[in-house]
């Protein structure tokens, strides 16, 4: 088993299973530029590897990913924030496009807290397993930003446009049971067995007909090719617009200062 480990992401191929692991547990796998770049590279490796028949996405620590690293964003606040977020989004968008456009089945194992771009990474998978400690909160509305990493289209794909829109706007926190009832999670499992059950699922898929699975993925996946690329470009444009405004600065500052943000009234 060949393992490639960087500062923020671990990847390996184990008996035909390509495994990509978020590895910033001390930050609850918050996404900064380095993690986004390493994640994109790791995804590219497993998608491109001819020996890989199924892919597993997971994370170290108590949380899959809380989304963007707001401390990192705060350090880069100002005119440079929007282009920095644009670079991060480009990397994340490339990775989720590869996963969705690939014929290989993808499984994600999601534990604990998940929010922001972490939602997009998790829901880029074909099969999503969550543990019973899951707490999902979109988070964007609280900091004056907008969805990225495919979160807008992947969440809407699973629960419908109207419900997804409401979740993004209201910033409601969902429990594991809520996520399962809505169809965000395909299966709930215990925290103790999540990793093993997700790996077993990936192995089961790897042993099925690759052609059959590829056709199923294509038939049941409207978010491929040009349609997905267009949505991801729209996400990027929206994030750049938000990040260039005063509300994003206020939202990030308020979060770091542990206070309620005061947003402007204009749009």
* Interval 200-244: pLDDT, tens: 999 999 999 999 999 999 999 888 889 999 999 999 999 999 999
| Calpha distance 223→177 (Å, rounded) | 26
Strands 174-175 and 135-136: antiparallel
**pLDDT tens track for 68-102:** 999 999 888 888 899 999 999 999 999 999 999 99
Whole-model pTM?
0.95
Share of the chain above pLDDT 70, in %: 98
In words, the CATH class of domain 2-193+206-257 is: alpha beta
Q: Taking residues 99-128, what's their average pLDDT? A: 97
Q: In this predicted structure, what is the pLDDT of residue 36?
A: 98
Q: Is the pLDDT of residue 267 over 70?
A: no
List the domain boundaries for the chain.
2-193+206-257
Q: In this predicted structure, what is the pLDDT of residue 266?
A: 58
């Amino acid at each position: 088993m060949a393992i490639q480990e960087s500062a923020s992401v671990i990847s390996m191929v184990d008996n035909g299973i390509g495994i990509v692991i978020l590895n910033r547990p001390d930050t609850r796998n918050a996404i900064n530029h380095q993690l986004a770049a390493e994640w994109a590279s790791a995804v590219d490796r497993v998608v491109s590897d001819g020996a890989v028949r199924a892919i597993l996405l997971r994370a170290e620590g108590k949380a899959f990913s809380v989304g963007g690293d707001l401390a990192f964003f705060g350090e880069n606040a100002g005119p440079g924030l929007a282009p920095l977020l644009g670079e991060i989004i480009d990397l994340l968008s490339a990775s989720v496009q590869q996963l969705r456009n690939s014929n290989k089945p993808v499984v994600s194992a999601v534990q604990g807290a998940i929010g922001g771009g972490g939602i997009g990474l998790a829901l880029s998978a074909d099969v999503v397993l969550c543990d019973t400690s899951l707490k999902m909160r979109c988070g964007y509305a609280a900091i004056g930003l907008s969805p990225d990493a495919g979160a807008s289209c992947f969440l809407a794909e699973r629960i419908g446009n109207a419900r997804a829109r409401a979740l993004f706007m209201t910033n409601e926190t969902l429990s594991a049971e809520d996520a399962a009832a809505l169809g965000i999670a395909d299966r709930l499992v215990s925290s103790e067995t999540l990793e093993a059950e997700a790996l077993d699922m990936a192995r089961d898929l790897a042993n099925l007909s690759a052609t059959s699975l590829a056709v199923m993925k294509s038939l049941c996946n409207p978010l491929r090719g040009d349609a997905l690329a267009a949505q991801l470009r729209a996400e990027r444009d929206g994030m750049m617009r938000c990040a260039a405004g005063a509300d994003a600065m206020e939202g990030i500052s308020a979060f770091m200062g542990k206070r309620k943000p005061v947003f402007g009234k204009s749009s």
